Structure 1
Amino acid sequence: MDQHEATAAVSTPEQVGLAFLTLAHSLRERVDQHMTSTAGLSLSRTKVLRALAGRGALHQAELAAALGQAPRSVTQIVEGLERLGLVVRTGDPEDRRRKTVSLTDAGRTTLAAAEQAGRHALRECFGSLGPRQLAVLDGLLAHLGDAVTGGRAG
């Protein structure tokens, strides 16, 4: 048994959970930084563009609900994306307060570049694992996902 295995043998669920959360946060920051420096698009902005690419034009409230975020947070992201020419907002003829958000061609191009940058950053991190380690980690993450969602698809 190596030192890592010995440490893991006496770890509590709380210790492992905190280590996992710390690592997940660091990984998210690394992917976000790589996407921003390579493609000019943060992970949160990429998620908005990805939702629009997958679902088509959406009212801002629908977009916020689809992302599970507060409407004000999504509005701020959409405003920034609009300034960059990656989305357009159009008014609803029946309700001037409602805005429909659509992806532009520039948004599609930038989204593709950001997704490629994100995949590259993930390959750099998870590529250090062998096929067996990846399979074990995948199984553990699926198990944790079930525990978190109570077995519901999420």
Structure 2
Amino acid sequence: MRIVAGHSSVSELDSHVGYWLRTVSNHVSHAFQRKVEDSGVTVAEWVVLRLLHGSEPVNPSQLAERMGMTRGAVSKLVERLVRKQLVERLASRDDRRFQTVGLTADGRKLVPVLARLADRNDHEFFGQLSAADRRKLVAQLRQIARFHGWQNSPVD
């Protein structure tokens, strides 16, 4: 900031990268939220389903670590998905206290449907960019996230 004749110079709101990231993020996220909620799940539930897709059942602490959430928060998500019959808890044969979480048949069927919604949402908002520009944008955003050590899954 520089001082000019007793007045401070104040940057324009829309001169900040964060302003534009938030503007785009809000629109993209809200549109996707509406789309997945029409399918009966929240964005956070979609992230859990997608992480479980194509993998062996995992324990809730592994999910919590991958999502950057507390085990309690992930347990609540899992419980909601169990009630919706999209995931199931599986007890270990050796230790009944040890549980893993895996997709049910309905969950396995829903993930590709939701993935197509995510793909369409991306295309709706970023389809005007060339494939090279999209790759470059994703690479730059990943670089920023890595620099700051951010590993949380965006769920809100």
Flag the structure with higher helix content.
Answer: 1
Distance 2:102 2:133 in 1: 40
Distance 1:50 1:44 in 2: 10
Give the aligned partner of residue 83 of structure 1.
Answer: 83
Following superposition of structure 1 onto structure 2, how do residues 21-32 of structure 1 map, counting pairs within 5 Å? 21-32=22-33
Q: 1:31 is matched by which residue type in structure 2?
A: F
After TM superposition, give the deviation of residue 82 of structure 1 in Å. 0.4
Distance 1:34 1:104 in 2: 22
Give the aligned partner of residue 107 of structure 2.
Answer: 107
Determine if contact 1:52/1:103 at 8 Å carries over to the other structure.
yes
After TM superposition, give the deviation of residue 137 of structure 1 in Å. 4.7
After TM superposition, give the deviation of residue 21 of structure 1 in Å. 2.2
Q: RMSD of aligned C-alpha atoms?
A: 2.7
Q: 2:63 is matched by which residue type in structure 1?
A: L
Q: Which moved more, 1:51-60 or 1:21-30?
A: 21-30
After TM superposition, give the deviation of residue 96 of structure 1 in Å. 4.2
Give the aligned partner of residue 136 of structure 1.
Answer: 133
Give the aligned partner of residue 56 of structure 2.
Answer: 56
Q: 1:30 is matched by which residue type in structure 2?
A: A
Query: How does the TM-score come out when normalised to structure 1?
Result: 0.75
Query: How does the TM-score come out when normalised to structure 2?
Result: 0.74
Q: Which moved more, 1:88-97 or 1:17-26?
A: 88-97
Q: Which moved more, 1:136-145 or 1:69-78?
A: 136-145
Determine if contact 1:40/1:114 at 8 Å carries over to the other structure.
no
The aligned length equals: 140
Q: 2:21 is matched by which residue type in structure 1?
A: F
Q: Structure 1 residues 116, 143: CA separation in 2 closer, same or farther (over 3 Å shift)?
A: closer
Structure 1 segments unaligned to the other structure (5+ residues): 1-9
Give the aligned partner of residue 146 of structure 2.
Answer: 149
Distance 1:71 1:145 in 2: 25
User: Could you give the per-residue CA deviations for residues 58-99 of structure 1, whole angstroms, max 9, x where no partner exists?
Assistant: 111112112222111111111011001111112335544432
Q: 1:34 is matched by which residue type in structure 2?
A: K
Question: Identity across aligned pairs (percent)?
Answer: 26
Determine if contact 1:60/1:98 at 8 Å carries over to the other structure.
no
Q: Structure 1 residues 144, 80: CA separation in 2 closer, same or farther (over 3 Å shift)?
A: closer
